[in-house]
Amino acid sequence: MQSLKDRMAAANQLLSDVAVPHEGKLGRVFPEAEDDTRFPFQRDRDRVIHSYAFLRLQAKTQVFVAGGEWGDHVRTRLTHTMEVAQISRDLARLLRLNEDLAECIALAHDLGHPPFGHAGQDALDSWMREQGSSFEHNLQSYRIVTVLEKHSSLYAGLNLNREVSDGLLKHSEIHPESGETLSHSLEAELTNVADAIAYNSHDCDDGLTAELFSREELLRVPLAKEAYERTLERGTYIRGSLQHMMVHDLIDHSSLDPKDAHPIAFSPEMKKGLQELRHFLWERMYNHPLVLAQTAEGQAIIDRLCRSFLKNPNDKILNLQKRTNSTVVEAIKDYVAGMTDTYAKLMALQM
Ligand code: MG
């Protein structure tokens, strides 16, 4: 077998100058010998895929409460994550950025999402604010890979390369640990946009499947209409066509100049089209009475769990607190945020 170093050098030749090279630049917190069959970011990807937090994505809400009355043909947090990873890889290859890094950030990007989707995040955040703190799912994804997951008895977390863990700090400008200004890799920027490409297109699909709106109603949105017209010839569906249009637009309009505020960006026309689509989805899907009823139930469950655990923390919470050297409040937050929808419901029934 050719050496890892030689294989990485050859693969780096295919990357743009602004890509993160295959050996990375920032390294791991705990130095480790590299594996000879996989590049460092491939290895990180495998650690993410084999983590407990990743397994739990299968029973977490994307928009619809997982395993609920909507049937099996709507996205969960896991299938959403797989779509983001797929789009990230393709975009990275098209832009000659590091596919392995983009894929790895994508697979980890929603690990910190609590049960019941954004409603769950709001409920957990308001409870944490009562306790003088706050909750944000991107920071929680970072905490999962750096503190909460167990990969080796020698260190906490997954000991990923810092390009991956820092890439999860989506809305942070300052690093939560070092206090330094964060400069996001283009691969991390790309994954953010891939997230938007994935949810804007698959939510149209899920909304139609769950019959929250009709195709005629969706087609009143100009971008959706354009996407639909493109499908007629091939007899395909609107989701794929929307993705295709967004990917093309992004490739044609990204500067890839790290000095730009948004080096990976859509054209102004696509931004406007997406704003109209977002508006439609907000009104007709995320704020649909049936979706709101489910999310309200989820919020009540999270609130009940947190209050009850604060009065009476169980062994899992106390062990977690000890292992992570945290406050009880933080351990409750970590425990509840990690739950699947199913597990949270089950726990709430026992209270
Ligand atoms: Mg996402």
Residue 102 Cα to ligand 1 midpoint, Å, equals: 14
**Is 90 exceeded by the pLDDT of residue 285?**
yes
Q: Dmax of the chain from CA atoms?
A: 61
Residue 154 Cα to ligand 1 midpoint, Å, equals: 31
Q: Which tokens belong to 12?
A: 């780096």
**Is 70 exceeded by the pLDDT of residue 11?**
yes
Residue 233 Cα to ligand 1 midpoint, Å, equals: 31
Residue 313 Cα to ligand 1 midpoint, Å, equals: 31
- Whether the Cβ atoms of residue 164 and residue 26 lie closer than 8 Å to each other: no
When pLDDT is averaged across residues 310-320 and rounded to a whole number, the result is: 97
Choose between 316 and 71: higher pLDDT.
316
Residue 81 Cα to ligand 1 midpoint, Å, equals: 6
Residue 195 Cα to ligand 1 midpoint, Å, equals: 5
Q: What is the mean pLDDT of the chain?
A: 95
Residue 109 Cα to ligand 1 midpoint, Å, equals: 6
Residue 187 Cα to ligand 1 midpoint, Å, equals: 15
**Is 90 exceeded by the pLDDT of residue 115?**
yes
**Is 80 exceeded by the pLDDT of residue 68?**
no
Quick: pLDDT tens for 148-182.
999 999 999 999 999 999 999 987 888 888 888 88
When pLDDT is averaged across residues 26-52 and rounded to a whole number, the result is: 96
Name all domains of the chain by residue range, CATH numbers in brackets: 4-349 (1.10.3210.10)
Contacts with 90 (C-beta within 8 Å, 6 or more apart), sequence order: 247
CA distance 133 to 172: 16
pTM score of the predicted model: 0.97
Residue 232 Cα to ligand 1 midpoint, Å, equals: 29
In this prediction, what percent of the chain has a pLDDT beyond 90?
A: 87
**Is 80 exceeded by the pLDDT of residue 69?**
no
Quick: pLDDT tens for 70-95.
778 899 999 999 999 999 999 999 99
When pLDDT is averaged across residues 343-348 and rounded to a whole number, the result is: 95
**Residues facing residue 28 across a β-bridge:** 161
Residue 23 Cα to ligand 1 midpoint, Å, equals: 26
CA distance 66 to 56: 11
Residue 340 Cα to ligand 1 midpoint, Å, equals: 16
**Could you identify the residue written with the tokens 């820092």?**
166
CA distance 149 to 129: 25
Identify the band that residue 136 occupies on the pLDDT scale cut at 50, 70 and 90.
very high
Quick: pLDDT tens for 231-268.
998 899 999 999 999 999 999 999 999 889 889 999 99
Quick: pLDDT tens for 124-133.
999 999 999 9
Quick: pLDDT tens for 182-228.
888 999 999 999 999 999 999 999 999 999 999 999 999 999 999 99
**Is 80 exceeded by the pLDDT of residue 66?**
no
Residue 110 Cα to ligand 1 midpoint, Å, equals: 5
What pLDDT sits at residue 181? 86
